[in-house]
């Protein structure tokens, strides 16, 4: 008996599509097979559409929270704190993959130190010594890593001649950034010592590109210079898959199951294993380089600028370079990897007996990434805008003429004035306050970089209030709807303090959410 066909005798379209009567058995079998495949694909599409409709319906009641702010402001670190609070097990599952990031952070920092030393001929040249970096420095060679050593321009915040609090702006004055304790007078010993360290560390440093490739999955993004590498959401699974290699061969559902079953017992990636071995062998050399008077001198003279994560991992190198190293949660919070695009994280948040799904969108903050934020604006319930207040002496990697505080203020202006966001609950984190304290304690003068700071006192309280006043001013000028701005001084690497603040923010967002959902 012939298998029933999809072609009905009565339907004219079916009749038109009816197979020719001369169809052979083999042609008929092939046709039936392809009809069955078409039906299967069509049913899959229908099922996908049904699930998507259901998801949209379900998500209508969910809270959507955007984490916005410039690159390096601390958005992903804040996301990790949400993860620690609401899905702590997932941090354990990812723990092993953070080892690749931390090794990359160490190796990349060593490379940056050695390249900078090379540009200064591995010595502290007292004749070119000028602690004040508002004056042009003429190194012997071009600057490493394309980082401009032209004096960075000081800024009057948002070009406002008159800052909040009424004190008139005064011109920048050169300041001192502290005393140099070590002076190397003999070129020979210093350069020979560093030359030897460079030679011994070169196999380790040469792993930099491979580690970057492992994390990015081979994707290079323009502008991923200093920070090293951009990653898309899901990079953890990729580093683990590379470690296991064989998972790639399997079909999707098997790979998913294997990924889910991976814990920190997963066999380590050969590359990561090799880097771990080299780190362990080179531990003393790294310590010697990090403690070397020439390195310390270049840092004090601001000829060598290290990021906070570089300093953190170099300070903890004994632990990080140990053969049995497993990243601690604190290490994970300090690890640095640039976000590419927008990464969605979903948490079930239980408030007053009501369970609500929170969708956290962690965005890439570099200028080239900001266009990808907009599609998430129209159904957002809340924004946490993260502004690093320690960045008053730093300039955008993408545009070395723009002071990072100024960029934050400009970005905050755009967010406050955006019509799509006018009803969104707005929270401001003035972040990296721990680093701000350290910078001020070492004698760095705000007025040297922010001319409008004028003759105010350079103490922590005055400085944070000054920056806060600027952000409040931006909010006030762009607040037709008279919405409240919730402000917090934060250091999001501090778990205890941050989780307390997250609790407050959660409650205030949830109150707004209930009101807008007309549930109260
Ligand atoms: N000491 C200190 N370090 C911080 C703080 N917040 C963030 N960091 C560190 O700053 C670096 C950058 O933080 P991220 O969270 O990756 O920055 P981001 O805003 O996600 O950056 P993009 O993804 O490039 O947009 C990381 O090494 C963090 O550990 C803070 O409050 N204090
Ligand atoms: Mg990020």
Interval 459-507: pLDDT, tens = 999 999 999 999 999 999 999 888 999 999 999 999 999 999 999 999 8
Closest by CA to 415, choosing from 386, 450, 452, is 386
CA 210/CA 145 separation, integer angstroms:
18
In the CATH scheme, what is the code of domain 62-92+336-516? 3.40.50.300
Domain boundaries, the chain: 12-52, 62-92+336-516, 94-329
Report the nearest atom of ligand 1 relative to the CA of 69: 19
Interval 338-347: pLDDT, tens = 999 999 999 9
CB of 492 sitting under 6 A from ligand 1: yes
The percent of residues above 90 in pLDDT, for the chain, comes to 57
Q: Any known ligand binding at 142?
A: no
Most confident listed range (82-96, 131-145, 223-237, 275-289): 275-289
Which H/E stretch holds residue 448?
helix 446-449
> What is the mean predicted confidence (pLDDT) over 19-43?
83
Residue 174 scores a pLDDT above 50 = no
Q: Any known ligand binding at 335?
A: yes
Q: Any known ligand binding at 432?
A: yes
CB of 429 sitting under 6 A from ligand 1: no
Q: Which residue has the higher pLDDT, 212 or 158?
A: 212
Q: Which residue has the higher pLDDT, 2 or 303?
A: 303
Q: Any known ligand binding at 431?
A: yes
CA 402/CA 71 separation, integer angstroms:
13
The residue whose CA is least distant from atom 32 of ligand 1 is 432
Interval 184-210: pLDDT, tens = 444 558 899 999 999 999 999 999 999
Interval 324-334: pLDDT, tens = 999 999 999 99
Q: Is the Cβ–Cβ distance between 298 and 304 less than 8 Å?
A: yes
Q: Please report the pLDDT score of residue 21 as a whole number.
A: 77
Q: Which residues contact 387 (CB under 8 A, 6 or more apart)?
A: 69, 70, 73, 405, 408, 409, 412, 428, 429, 430, 431, 467, 471
CB of 336 sitting under 6 A from ligand 1: yes
Interval 17-26: pLDDT, tens = 567 778 888 8
DSSP codes joined into one string, 200-231: HHHHHHTTHHHHHHHHHTT---TT-SSS--EE
Give 10 Cα–ligand 1 centroid separation in angstroms: 68
What are 31's two structure tokens?
A: 């046709």
Q: Ligand 1, residues 76, 331, 390: which to mutate, most atoms within 8 A of Cβ? A: 76
Q: Any known ligand binding at 433?
A: yes
CA 285/CA 106 separation, integer angstroms:
13
Q: Which residues contact 437 (CB under 8 A, 6 or more apart)?
A: 460
Give 235 Cα–ligand 2 centroid separation in angstroms: 13
Q: Please report the pLDDT score of residue 234 as a whole number.
A: 67
**Ligand in nearest proximity to the CA of 104:** 1
The residue whose CA is least distant from atom 6 of ligand 1 is 74
Average pLDDT, the chain: 81
> What is the mean predicted confidence (pLDDT) over 48-60?
65
Q: Please report the pLDDT score of residue 126 as a whole number.
A: 63
Q: Ligand 1, residues 66, 77, 226, 491: which to mutate, most atoms within 8 A of Cβ? A: 77
ipTM exceeding 0.85, yes/no: yes
Cα atoms in the 13 Å half-sphere on the side-chain side of 420: 11
Q: Any known ligand binding at 504?
A: no
Residue 94 scores a pLDDT above 80 = yes
Q: Please report the pLDDT score of residue 428 as a whole number.
A: 98
Q: Is the Cβ–Cβ distance between 334 and 353 less than 8 Å?
A: no
Q: Is the Cβ–Cβ distance between 190 and 294 less than 8 Å?
A: yes
Q: Any known ligand binding at 115?
A: no
Residue 87 scores a pLDDT above 90 = yes
CB of 364 sitting under 6 A from ligand 1: yes
**Residue 444 to residues 176, 403, 470, Cα–Cα distance (Å):** 7, 15, 20
CB of 491 sitting under 6 A from ligand 1: yes
Q: Please report the pLDDT score of residue 501 as a whole number.
A: 97
The residue whose CA is least distant from atom 5 of ligand 1 is 432
Q: Please report the pLDDT score of residue 481 as a whole number.
A: 83
The residue whose CA is least distant from atom 8 of ligand 1 is 74
pLDDT confidence band for 56 (50 / 70 / 90): low
CA 153/CA 264 separation, integer angstroms:
47
Residue 170 scores a pLDDT above 50 = no
Closest by CA to 95, choosing from 281, 268, 218, 232, is 268
Give 71 Cα–ligand 2 centroid separation in angstroms: 7
Residue 251 scores a pLDDT above 60 = no
The residue whose CA is least distant from atom 15 of ligand 1 is 74
Residue 149 scores a pLDDT above 60 = no
> What is the mean predicted confidence (pLDDT) over 410-418?
97
Give 363 Cα–ligand 1 centroid separation in angstroms: 13
CA 81/CA 497 separation, integer angstroms:
10
> What is the mean predicted confidence (pLDDT) over 372-381?
93
């Amino acid at each position: 008996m012939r298998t029933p066909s999809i072609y009905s005798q009565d339907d004219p379209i079916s009749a038109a599509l009816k197979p020719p009567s001369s169809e052979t058995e083999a042609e008929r079998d092939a046709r039936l097979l392809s009809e069955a495949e078409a039906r299967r694909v069509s049913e899959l599409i229908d099922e996908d559409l049904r699930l998507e409709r259901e998801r949209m319906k379900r998500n209508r009641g969910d809270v959507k929270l955007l984490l916005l702010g410039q690159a390096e402001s601390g958005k992903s670190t804040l996301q990790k704190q949400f993860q620690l609070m609401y899905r702590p097990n997932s941090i354990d599952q990812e723990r092993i993959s953070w080892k690749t990031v931390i090794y990359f952070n160490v190796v990349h920092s060593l490379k940056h130190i050695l390249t900078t030393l090379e540009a200064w001929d591995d010595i502290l040249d007292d004749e070119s010594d000028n602690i004040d970096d508002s004056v042009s420095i003429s190194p012997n060679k071009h600057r490493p890593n394309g980082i401009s050593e032209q004096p960075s321009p000081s800024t009057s915040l948002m070009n406002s001649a008159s800052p909040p609090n009424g004190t008139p702006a005064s011109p920048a004055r050169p300041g001192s950034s502290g005393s140099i304790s070590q002076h190397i007078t003999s070129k020979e010993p210093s350069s020979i010592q560093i030359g030897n360290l460079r030679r011994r560390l070169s196999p380790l440093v040469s792993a930099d590109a491979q580690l970057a490739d492992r994390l990015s999955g081979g994707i290079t993004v323009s502008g991923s210079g200093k920070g090293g590498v951009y990653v898309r959401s899901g990079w953890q699974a990729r580093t683990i898959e590379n470690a296991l290699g064989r998972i790639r061969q399997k079909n999707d559902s098997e790979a998913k199951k294997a990924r889910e079953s991976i814990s920190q017992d997963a066999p380590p990636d050969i590359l990561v294993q090799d880097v771990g071995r080299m780190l362990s062998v080179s531990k003393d050399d790294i310590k010697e380089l990090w403690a070397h008077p020439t390195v310390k001198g270049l840092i004090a003279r601001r000829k060598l600028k290290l990021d906070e994560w570089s300093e953190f991992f170099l300070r903890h190198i004994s632990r990080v370079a140990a053969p049995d190293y497993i990243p601690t949660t604190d290490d994970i919070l300090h690890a640095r990897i640039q976000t590419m695009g927008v990464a969605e994280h979903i948490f079930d948040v239980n408030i007053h007996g009501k369970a609500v799904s929170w969708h956290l969108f962690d965005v890439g903050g570099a200028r080239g990434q900001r266009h990808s934020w907009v599609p998430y604006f129209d159904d957002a319930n809340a924004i946490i805008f993260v502004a690093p207040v320690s960045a008053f002496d730093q300039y955008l990697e993408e545009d070395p003429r723009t002071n990072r505080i100024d960029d934050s203020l400009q970005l905050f202006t755009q967010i406050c004035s955006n019509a799509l966001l006018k009803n969104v609950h707005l929270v401001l984190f003035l972040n990296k306050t721990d680093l701000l304290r350290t910078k001020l304690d070492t004698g760095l003068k705000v007025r040297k970089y922010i001319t409008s700071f004028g003759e105010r006192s350079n103490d922590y309280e005055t400085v944070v209030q000054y920056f806060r006043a600027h952000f409040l001013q931006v909010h006030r000028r762009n607040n037709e709807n008279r919405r409240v701005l919730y402000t917090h001084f934060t250091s999001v690497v501090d778990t205890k303090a941050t989780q307390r603040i997250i609790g407050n923010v959660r409650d205030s967002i949830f109150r707004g959410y209930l009101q807008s959902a007309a549930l109260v």
